[in-house]
Every structure is written in structure tokens, then in C-alpha cells.
Amino acid sequence: MKFIKIWGYLKCPQIFFIFLLFYNIIYSENISFDFYKELYDGTKTEIATGYFYIKIPENANDEKAFYFNITFPVNQIITYNKEQEMIVFYPEENKAFIINEKNKSVDINSMDVTVKKLDLKKLGFKLIDTKKNQKYIYEKWAPNNIAFSVIKEVNLYKNKDGNISKIEYKDKKDNILLSVNCEEFINIKEKQIPLYVETYSAIGGTPLREKIKMSNVKRNIKLPKIINKFEIPRDAEVKKVKL
């Protein structure tokens, strides 16, 4: 199985960032997007395609549900469980991985994240500078305890509509650790969502550039059975992984 190779490219911060953007949408219909993803690791480009689904809760006690259904190069479903562990399921092989991302310090339930709002104070940062012109609003943030942080600053850019268009984390040598760019915003239930997200990450040591392009938005759809009633089959081979 190409688990480590294929999923490893999908575990960049971009996937989690997209989940965060959609988490606070109030919606009353099932929605799907076609998506195209490519990742460049400095030597080659990997491509994946498939669908992204938003599932409405069946009752008031249900959790919000989001699913990536990768159809190329391998068939797999990616989602998060109630413990915020990533689930990667391979239907054809009936195998699943439950990934505990120990380095992911962001709690979905504690974050009120939209493209108009990212509360860096909750992440231990303080605002130290702000600028504004006709094209964008710029904010510079620094860690409250910079002596104990590998991050020197966070640069946040908002476009003229107030949408976050770029987030940039820098280390103490001014190297970019993580950069997320958002473009092509659409409106879903009065929330602005980017259809194009590009990420650069050097956190794992090897610089990675990843692009995700959403298209063909469909609303009030009938979800595929495997998505609508998704659960890991009882007879599936399950492996728990810590990263």
C-alpha cells in the first residue's frame, strides 16, 4: 500500500486549514466540490483529484462532517473523528489509519476561524503592528513568550473585502516556516470561502509547496452512500499512528 507516500503529501497544514475554514459555516444542505491537488517537493510533482463533501447534521446532536474523497491516484477517504484524529480509509483494501497528529496544537472546537477572522490571541500571539491601504490590511503578530518560541512573527494580510488572503509564519532568522495563500472567494451561507489555497511549508524540514483548487460547487446533493453513512467497517484492518 502507498499509504505513507500518498497520505504523507495530504497531511500538510493545508488540509487542516481547509477543515477550519468550513467548520464555522452554518448550512442546511449537503454540498460537494470537485478538487484538484498538486504538491511539489523540490524534485517532482504529485497530483491527486477527487471530491470534497460537506454533510449536514442529521440531528441537533450530530457533529459537523467534512470528507475528502480522493479518487486518483488511489481511492481513499479522509476525515476527522470526534477526538480530532485524522481518519484515512482505503475502501478497496478495507484498511484504515487513525492518525494522532501530536504536533497539531490547534483545537477545532476552540477556534472561531473564518476567512475574515483568525484569533491569534488564542494561539499565544500579540498584535505589534498594523497597516492599511487601498489593497489590503496588514497585521504583524509576535509570540507572547518569544524567547521560548521558534516563531518570530506572524504576518496576516486581508484583502479589500476583509478576507484573509495570506498568513505567513517566520522563524527568528526570517525564514518562512509556513505560508498559506487564499484566492477566488465564494459566498456560502453568508461566509466567504476560498476555492484556491496554496501552502508552503518548511516545518517538517523538507520544503513543500501544495495547491488545492476547488470547482464545480453543487448544493443540496444526495451524498454517495459511503460518505453519507461513513464509518470504518468492523472487519477493516485498523492501524493507529502518531505523527
pLDDT digits (tens, 9 = 90+) for 71-109: 998 899 988 887 778 899 999 999 999 988 655 544 444
Kindly tell me if the per-residue pLDDT of 61 is higher than 50: yes
Q: Residues 2-31: what's their mean pLDDT?
A: 54
Under 8 Å between Cβ of 224 and 69: yes
pTM (predicted TM-score): 0.74
Where do the structural domains in the chain lie, given as residue ranges? 3-242
Kindly tell me if the per-residue pLDDT of 39 is higher than 90: no
Give pLDDT tens digits for 132-179. Answer: 988 889 999 999 987 778 889 999 999 888 888 898 999 999 999 888
Fold category of 3-242 in CATH: outer membrane lipoprotein receptor (LolB), chain A (2.50.20)
